[in-house]
Chains A and B, each alone.
Chain A
């Protein structure tokens, strides 16, 4: 009896010793799956990552659920898209989180947009008559791999600041990601090269960085203005414009209604492509590199088909 007790105690001690010395991982909360994926690339097993918005969800309209408050309350590092993308849902989470580490201005708050290339920064007077304009520029900037690299770099720097002992580890993880991303970029650029200047229509203004990077020319939007649902007059106008300019492809996000884009595609003899606006937007887009893998492949394949048909 006594020996058995001793054995139990010994087993517990061994278990405690096995668990004990492991350094606590940095708890990262990312507002989107893209940022979450980049944080995983850089942080490896020195971090745990939770993403709030799902990739197939409209990132403008996320509910500030109390379950998110719990996640944010435990975070060591909060990574946000910024540029007012999370304006409707992040502020209440920050206020209710009771977590001083991740309040704006603190070390644990990282605005991923600080060092990236931002497009469509409005100039002059802006009003809501223009729809949901973002005064600080288009917040869908992660859809350019060059920006992804810059975000990863910012995450590396911040993690190195939070746990200086792991600096070399994060450096090495970043270098590895950078190498893989560069190789993939060369592949994507080659794949998209034949389609430079091809005309495309998108549903929302989610894709300027993607289209700019791969040299595609966005000639119109299904939404008459950002965030405003399609109207008949605008749709008719768009169909006319697409016919005039010979645009055949409509790129859209998985969270919008297919009906209008499909009707337009039928009218112009074109095709609707539902791309992944974020990691997790489709089941293929499992991480940041796969996100582009899927989108580039889908767009290139569709453009090849239209080229073949025209030819």
Chain B
């Protein structure tokens, strides 16, 4: 009965709209003619009104449909409710295909003496612009443009083919090399203001190890764990591997295993291998072997208040020397980060690393970090860092970090 009422009120609504629009049509020409009387302008005006009328009509029809659906929903036991109003968000014209965009800024500060680094007391160390979207039904693309005091560069820019057969995932473009865990994390996802010594000395240098190349990975099905095998080929243009020859390439191989121990704890293990032309001694090969392990604890009921991540990475480097011999070096870090309140995190890290060209020169350090995250979109961090360099220099520093982002909500780092 009530639905029938509504069915009759639909034409009534439309009639009202028609009358209103017709009336305005009658009035508008006079205004237009009062302006210049150009028939072209009149026609445009009419077209515009027609569009407006159509929009209005559509709006009212949608509202009526919604009302009808509500009426139906109010009657319990309706065996087959008609399709409820599709409350789709109206597509925003051309903008709907714009990529998700976000800008992440990193402000760093340092106090205390360190003769071996040139980190200023305060700097806007990086502004990263991320542009991410689906390319077509077969792929998505991610761009990270990084502006630093050294200049503007494409930190990463790659396409990911998500729908290939046989469970293969292929990326191509410039990207962070999947050597170990820390190298793949962007600044805002790191639990420290700086990179561990082993990353600085052996993997990547000041920046992360990133290059132009192709990455192929495949899940290895087994009943026991998540197992992902990955192979990558790069051009060889980074602070770690470098060549101008087309015939020399850099390779990465990685095997990653992951397993849930309980619903709130898990382990993540990886073995990585890198081989390529050395950046230190041109035309000579350098090899890296890495082992990384991560243990996570996050009780699901208290996931927003408590979390612990324990992490370690060990890296062996072997640099071929002109004399036909080779030079080995080893470095590692271990860290623990604990979330003790909804917005507070405390962390500790121990570091030790040799240097590529002289494995007997060791740098070592200890760091304590405290992080406050007002929301998902900003963080303040203080870090005390004690470093003993192989040169015999000791540095005690307090480092500060302020990281904030605007724009699209990115994925939570894991």
Contact = CB atoms under 8 A, between A and B. Distances in A.
Contact of A229 (B88, B162, B167, B343): B343
Given A65-B266, A254-B301, A105 B137 contact: yes
B260 to A, nearest CB: 5
A97 B298 CA distance: 23
A98 B167 contact: yes
Contacts of A128: 375, 377, 406
A88 interface: yes
Interface in A103-124: 103-106, 114-118, 121
Interface stretch (B114-122, B283-291, B302-310): B302-310
Interface string B74-111: 00111111011111110000000000000000000000
A146 interface: yes
B259 interface: yes
A137 B87 contact: yes
Q: Which of B263, B268, B304, B376 has the most CB of A within 10 A?
A: B304
A64 interface: yes
A66 B226 contact: yes
Contacts of B172: none
A173 to B, nearest CB: 14
Contacts of B410: 88
B303 A58 contact: yes
Nearest to A88: B412
A66 B73 contact: no
Interface in B44-83: 69-70, 73, 76-81, 83
Contact of A185 (B76, B134, B260, B375): B76
A214 interface: no
Contacts of B140: 95
Contact of B258 (A65, A100, A257): A65
Contact of A257 (B84, B134, B218, B305): B305
B168 interface: yes
Given A98-B164, A182-B78, A255 B411 contact: no
Contacts of B219: 69-70, 73, 98
B239 interface: no
A248 B156 CA distance: 54
A117 B89 contact: no
A256 to B, nearest CB: 8
B412 A56 contact: no
A103 to B, nearest CB: 6
B409 interface: yes
A44 interface: no
B366 interface: no
Interface string A56-81: 11100111111101100100000000
Contacts of B89: 121, 135-136
A186 interface: yes
Interface in B212-258: 218-219, 226, 228, 256, 258
Interface in A125-169: 128, 132, 135-137, 146-147, 149-150, 153
B160 interface: yes
A121 B77 contact: no
B162 A100 contact: yes
B272 to A, nearest CB: 16
Given A95-B162, A228-B375, A182 B84 contact: no
A136 B228 CA distance: 35
B169 interface: yes
A73 B376 CA distance: 28
A294 interface: no
A114 B167 contact: no
Contact of A115 (B84, B256, B301): B84
B84 A63 contact: no
Nearest to B228: A66
Given A63-B412, A63-B414, A117-B70, A229 B342 contact: yes
Interface in B341-395: 342-343, 375-377
Given A66-B258, A182-B77, A182-B78, A56 B409 contact: no
B261 to A, nearest CB: 11
A41 interface: no
Nearest to A175: B79
A66 B268 contact: yes
Interface in B118-173: 134, 137, 140, 160, 162-165, 167-169
B160 to A, nearest CB: 6
B162 A146 contact: no
A114 B258 contact: no
Interface string A170-208: 000001001100110110010000000000000000000
B25 interface: no
B169 A96 contact: yes
6 contacts: A61-B304, A63-B414, A66-B268, A95-B162, A98-B219, A189-B76
A-B complex: 7 closest residue pairs judged by Cβ atoms = A100-B163, A182-B77, A66-B226, A66-B258, A146-B73, A185-B76, A57-B300
Given A73-B219, A88-B410, 17 more contacts: A56-B300, A63-B412, A67-B266, A89-B411, A95-B160, A95-B162, A99-B167, A100-B162, A100-B164, A100-B165, A103-B163, A105-B137, A106-B137, A182-B77, A185-B76, A228-B375, A256-B304
